[in-house]
């Protein structure tokens, strides 16, 4: 079955750029049947959808990120990626990637990103 795995630095300095990747296994990211999304969750808080990408590169973002998020896709590596610029402590969270087809399933296990100097 399809599995997703996040990877990237666990610590990012304030004002710098957070970069994460999500590797998809067990299925092709370019099949065109699904979108691929990023979601985050600050400690002890709820879930926030960041945005999504389709195999063609079409993206949709949550306006709450105020244009700081960029999602890209690399079909040759079966990966999609997230960049968040100008990070602050408010961006500290567990970041999840997920396959999306009007619901999120499956999810990656999540990766903790802490913004601190």
Partner 1 sequence: EIVLTQSPGTLSLSQGERATLSCRASQSVSTISLAWYQQKPGQAPRLLIYSASRRATGIPDRFSGSGSGTDFTLTISRLEPEDFAVYYCHQFGGSPPIYTFGQGTKLGIK
Other Cβ atoms closer than 10 A to 107: 15
Closest CB 109 distance from partner 1, rounded Å: 6
Q: Does 62 bind partner 1 (CB under 8 A)?
A: yes
Q: Starting from the edge strand earliest in sequence, which strands make up the sheet with 69-74, in order?
A: 3-7, 18-25, 79-84, 69-74
Q: Does 36 bind partner 1 (CB under 8 A)?
A: no
Q: Does 67 bind partner 1 (CB under 8 A)?
A: no
List the one residue from 79, 108, 113, 115 that touches partner 1 (CB under 8 A): 108
**Is the preceding peptide bond at 31 cis, omega within 30 degrees of 0?**
no
Q: Does 46 bind partner 1 (CB under 8 A)?
A: yes
Q: Does 43 bind partner 1 (CB under 8 A)?
A: no
Q: How many residues bind partner 1 (CB under 8 A)?
A: 18
Q: Does 54 bind partner 1 (CB under 8 A)?
A: no
Question: Is 42 exposed, middle or buried, given 0-12, 13-18 or 19+ CB atoms closer than 10 A?
Answer: middle
């Amino acid at each position: 079955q399809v599995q997703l795995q996040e990877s990237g630095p666990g610590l990012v300095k304030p004002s710098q750029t957070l970069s994460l990747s999500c590797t998809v296994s067990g299925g092709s990211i370019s099949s065109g049947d699904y979108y691929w999304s990023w979601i985050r969750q600050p400690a002890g808080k709820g879930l926030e959808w960041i945005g999504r990408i389709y195999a063609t590169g079409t993206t949709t973002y949550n306006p709450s990120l105020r244009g700081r998020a960029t999602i890209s896709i690399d079909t040759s590596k079966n990966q999609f990626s997230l960049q968040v610029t100008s990070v602050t402590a408010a961006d500290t969270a567990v970041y999840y990637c997920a396959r999306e087809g009007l619901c999120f399933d499956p999810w990656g296990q999540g990766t903790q990103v802490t913004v601190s100097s």
